[in-house]
Amino acid sequence: MERILKHPVLSVPENEKKVEFFFNGKKFEGYEGEAVSSALISNKVKEFAIHKRDDAPQGIYCANGQCSHCTLIIDGLPLKSCITPLKEGMNIETLRYVPKLPEDNTPIKKTEKFEEKCDVLVIGGGPSGLTSTIELAKLGLNIILVDDKNLLGGKLLLQTHKFFGSIEDCYAGTRGIDIAHKLEKEVRSYPNVKIYSSTSVVGVYKDKKAGLFVDNKNYVIVEFEGLIISAGARERSIIFPGNHLPGVYGAGAFQTLVNRDLVKSSEKVFIVGSGNVGLIGAYHALQAGIKVAGICDILPNVSGYKVHADKIKRMGVPIYLNHTVLSAEGTGKVEKVTIAQVDSSFNPLLETAKTFEVDTLLIAVGLSPVDEFYNMAVDYGFKVIKAGDANEIAEASSAMFGGRIAGLEMAQLLGKDVVIDDSFNQKAEVLKSRPGKVVEFKEVELYEKYQPVIHCVQEIPCNPCTSVCTQHAINLVDDKGSIMDLPQFSGECNGCLNCLAICPGLAISLAKKIDGNYAEVILPHEFIPDFKEGDMVPLMTMEGEYIEDGLVTKVRFNKKYKTSIVYLKTTLANASKISGIRVQKEEDVKPLANPSFSYIPENGVVCQCELVTVKEITDYIKEHHVRDAAQLKPLRVGMGACGGKNCSTLLPRVFKMAGVEWNEVTPGTKRPLSVEVPMYALINESDGE
């Protein structure tokens, strides 16, 4: 099995129970309870389904139950493999075309009606769902918290990096996986909170009831007074030839595989999108021992935090701005990806094409809120609030604080005498702030005593370095009057290394002068060191330029922050400019000598459930003068298993390509989020007499 056996941050579980299962008649091994999709990918299976159209192969995309790409025939039933736990002896088959109804003439056995009642039903156990539950539980309300995974935490469970923000408000400097454990522990400490994990909410009904599909087995009806929607977001896609090939993942799916399930899903990846999700995805790949050929973005500037982009470039990953993806190619799976520069109108300049040999293409171009149940609840007149990404796409630090506010607002709706401090909303606004201005980095004159060199030059909501400095020598520049202000050092440094170890952006080093020509530089390093004392390592500037080789004099591991601390001897002239150690060789990121692609944008797939292309839709719009998205149903657009949730985000662009402005079009109706529920579960059929 292709597993991650060593990781610089994550603990690799020991003695997990192995089980045998069958895929298309062949025996494989996996771990009991892991997602079926993860077990298959660890066994190098990427092709999950064969589409009825051109026998096109399909693989996973979101790994989060939000699409249908991973549907397999599991013990005779069509199930989404990314949310179906693996069991001993499972018989799994490739889904060929469309599933057939299983033949079963067995009389119905004993059935049972399961009902629950609560004050507030919270849908989604991610950062905002957990914090809203905590606030409601403190007020004595009875809560039912539902999440479709077996562990609570949502996207926090995928984050190995340290969080931004402030320590007191959102655990800044703590890794997402550790924050998830802290919040889950607190939620489980309240006796008035009942948790349904491995459970999907499959329906919200007019009589203030919801249907729960529990553990792929039972159907439970929950009656509630208030409803909080914290179901997160789904991955967006983009249109290009080959976007439906196995090996094209959403970035969140990739993080699920490598960080949650410790599956080495790839050998080399390319990433589209330079927001924080794409930048962090690259970092996670490198930590998992997976090469990253590069990141491209159609925009002229990185859209994520500069400290994220800088550390990625220091690791040896190039970022291609003003570039777009032309195509993904391969026989049954991704084998090559081609990108090209764009002009001022975002049209690709084919003569600038570059092709990379990779087995995975990560799409990190944004998220869409999972808020269908919220819209239904509003129509029904329920007391309902949405939180986290379901409300507004932002960082998890913002989601945690926003969840607290959502919980208090729900308590108010239910008649509790609760006052929400004005500072809460102010802090929430700061935490979701976009990056601000960038200042010029100034070199630091070094002396015989340690001093921190701060490579954080862009305004972002973050200040843990100021909180942990034992000398109170790091403070924020008084400009905006919030944690958006930049940190600065003034005073004495005792070399405690706290600022260096806690910094989420790895943007602080410590340095001191040794003699007239040399210095000691101390760097954080979040990888398993492939060097030892006495080795020479390539050192990089803040923005990823090679500057010199440095001598490793000592390597220590900070257990509290799970960060390696590397001591180096460098030249004095370069010491304050040194910001990181390159971990990826230059030859790992070079494109092929000659580009290899066939760019026919009209062949790009819009509706991936039904494999409907751009050309088919634009031709139909022109021929039939379409002004209502529902008129595309004869083409099967929006009629697939995802319920039109994924292709609907692409339709505005497609209509514009057909000469129709989106404001002239009536959008289609998205079906509520749901998963397949077998009849035996709906009626809670048991083996009893």
Reported as a single tens digit per residue, the pLDDT across 505-514 is 999 999 999 9
Same domain, 338 and 377: no
Same domain, 488 and 633: no
3-state secondary structure of 541: strand
Residue 212 in this model has a pLDDT that exceeds 80: yes
Nearest Cα residue to 605 out of 629, 630, 635, 625: 635
Global confidence as pTM: 0.92
Looking at residue 689, its pLDDT comes to 46
- For the stretch 614-617, contacts whose Cβ atoms lie closer than 8 Å and that sit 24 or more positions apart, written own/partner, are 614/239, 614/654, 614/657, 617/654, 617/658
Measured between alpha carbons, how far is 134 from 184 in angstroms, rounded to an integer? 10
Give the pLDDT band of residue 674 (cuts 50, 70, 90): low
Q: What is the mean pLDDT of residues 102-119?
A: 86
Residue 7 lies in a domain: no
Q: How many domains does the chain have?
A: 4
Same domain, 315 and 387: no
Looking at residue 105, its pLDDT comes to 78
Residue 131 in this model has a pLDDT that exceeds 90: yes
Looking at residue 687, its pLDDT comes to 62
Residue 621 lies in a domain: yes
Same domain, 573 and 472: yes
Residue 385 lies in a domain: yes
Residue 393 lies in a domain: yes
Q: What is the mean pLDDT of residues 387-412?
A: 91
Same domain, 511 and 471: yes
Q: What is the mean pLDDT of residues 652-674?
A: 85
Residue 99 in this model has a pLDDT that exceeds 80: yes
**537 token code pair:** 């390592």
Condensed to tens digits (0 to 9), the pLDDT of residues 142-156 reads 999 999 888 899 999
Measured between alpha carbons, how far is 22 from 488 in angstroms, rounded to an integer? 59
Q: Do residues 7 and 268 make contact, with C-beta atoms less than 8 angstroms apart?
A: no
Condensed to tens digits (0 to 9), the pLDDT of residues 290-309 reads 999 999 999 999 999 999 99
Give the pLDDT band of residue 672 (cuts 50, 70, 90): low
Q: What is the mean pLDDT of residues 270-282?
A: 96
Residue 207 in this model has a pLDDT that exceeds 70: yes
Give the pLDDT band of residue 424 (cuts 50, 70, 90): confident
Residue 95 lies in a domain: yes
Looking at residue 306, its pLDDT comes to 96
**596 token code pair:** 């290899």
One-character DSSP codes across 480-533: SSSTTSPEEE-S------HHHHH-TT--EEEEEE-SSSEEEEEEEE-S--S--T
CA distances from 320 to 270, 294, 342, 452 (A): 11, 7, 11, 31
Measured between alpha carbons, how far is 542 from 579 in angstroms, rounded to an integer? 5
Same domain, 545 and 639: no
Give the pLDDT band of residue 235 (cuts 50, 70, 90): confident
Buried/exposed 174-194: b ≥16 CB within 10 Å, e otherwise:
bbbbbbbbebbeebeebeebe
Q: Among the listed ranges 224-233, 421-430, 494-503, which one has the minimum average pLDDT value?
A: 421-430
Measured between alpha carbons, how far is 209 from 221 in angstroms, rounded to an integer? 6
Residue 102 in this model has a pLDDT that exceeds 80: no
**89 token code pair:** 């002896």
Q: What is the mean pLDDT of residues 64-86?
A: 88
Looking at residue 645, its pLDDT comes to 78
Give the pLDDT band of residue 5 (cuts 50, 70, 90): very high
Same domain, 161 and 143: yes
Query: Which CATH number does the domain housing residue 418 bear?
Result: 3.50.50.60
3-state secondary structure of 289: coil
Looking at residue 453, its pLDDT comes to 97
Residue 11 lies in a domain: no
Determine phi and psi for 501, rounding to 5 degrees.
Answer: -75, -30
Residue 686 lies in a domain: no
Same domain, 472 and 568: yes
One-character DSSP codes across 431-471: HTPPP--B---------SS-EEEE---B--SB-HHHHH-TT
Same domain, 93 and 129: no
Give the residue numbers spanning the domain of 607.
601-664
Same domain, 339 and 397: no
Nearest Cα residue to 256 out of 129, 164, 358, 159: 159
Answer left, alpha or beta for residue 506, where phi above 0 means left and psi between -120 and 50 means alpha: left
Give the pLDDT band of residue 569 (cuts 50, 70, 90): very high
Same domain, 580 and 465: yes
The beta strand positions in 109-185, using DSSP E, are 114-117, 120-123, 143-146
Residue 203 lies in a domain: yes
Condensed to tens digits (0 to 9), the pLDDT of residues 164-176 reads 999 988 899 999 9
Measured between alpha carbons, how far is 16 from 349 in angstroms, rounded to an integer? 51
Residue 218 in this model has a pLDDT that exceeds 80: yes
Residue 101 in this model has a pLDDT that exceeds 80: no
Determine phi and psi for 249, rounding to 5 degrees.
Answer: -115, 155
Domain final position from 313, 337, 363: 363
Q: Pick the more confident residue, 313 or 217.
A: 313
Domain final position from 568, 589, 610: 589
At 342, the amino acid letter reads V
Condensed to tens digits (0 to 9), the pLDDT of residues 606-648 reads 888 888 999 999 999 999 999 999 999 999 988 887 778 788 8
Average pLDDT over the chain, rounded to an integer? 92
Domain final position from 303, 336, 363: 363
Same domain, 121 and 63: no
